[in-house]
Chain A
Amino acid sequence: GAVVSQHPSWVICKSGTSVKIECRSLDFQATTMFWYRQFPKQSLMLMATSNEGSKATYEQGVEKDKFLINHASLTLSTLTVTSAHPEDSSFYICSASPSGSVIIGTDTQYFGPGTRLTVL
């Protein structure tokens, strides 16, 4: 149980194009999903918290107009990197916590397999 998928697993695009990454919780509902970015040999960096039916909450320094997040259902969140540039090349990882299992402070995050984005 608690499987999270991401699509695509890798993508190469030209500078200036937009790329959409999907994150799905396959066997549970997730009110909240998280988007992370990780550069080589660096730690996870939380980009934003995605809440079903409402606007995402972005971390400081993350451009919300560049990284568009849509959490349209309890099993799907999407991250769109708009007008991508080579510096956006990174490993993007989503995670999700099962809804309805909340005991305060004890949500467990399950990670998707990640999407490797390369912008030429």
Chain B
Amino acid sequence: QKEVEQNSGPLSVPEGAIASLNCTYSDRGSQSFFWYRQYSGKSPELIMFIYSNGDKEDGRFTAQLNKASQYVSLLIRDSQPSDSATYLCAVNRGGSYIPTFGRGTSLIVHP
């Protein structure tokens, strides 16, 4: 069983819609959770991190964490074509400096 799982996609949404990206993890000791965006040919760029159960909002992005169900999601409101990229979920176990990355979900926002 993979430690951090993401649907590879592609997830295709129309411009202006809400894109919902999901990530599940297997380690119940996980304490910190990250979402990165990676454009083709570029390195990952941090979007958000979340530590506590519930929602965390930053502009058009909302991260949702549910530790009991072991999932973390990323919502992108008012999706734009420029949001088209691969979104990586990363999870840190408590006391660990090394996050485990999912394989990423490809998002396509079409005009």
Chain A's interface: helix, strand, loop or mixed, by majority? loop
Given contacts A105-B92, A105-B96, contact A112 B43 (CB under 8 A): yes
B contacts, CB < 8 Å to A: 30-32, 34, 36, 41-46, 49, 51, 88, 90, 92-99, 101-104
A108 within 8 A of partner (CB): yes
Given contacts A43-B104, A104-B31, A104-B94, contact A109 B43 (CB under 8 A): no
The residue in chain A whose Cβ has the minimal distance to the Cβ of B100 is A46
A contacts, CB < 8 Å to B: 32, 34, 43-44, 46, 49, 91, 93, 97, 104-114
CA distance A58 to B104 in the complex (A): 23
Contact: A93 with B43, CB < 8 Å?
A: yes
Contact: B32 with A106, CB < 8 Å?
A: yes
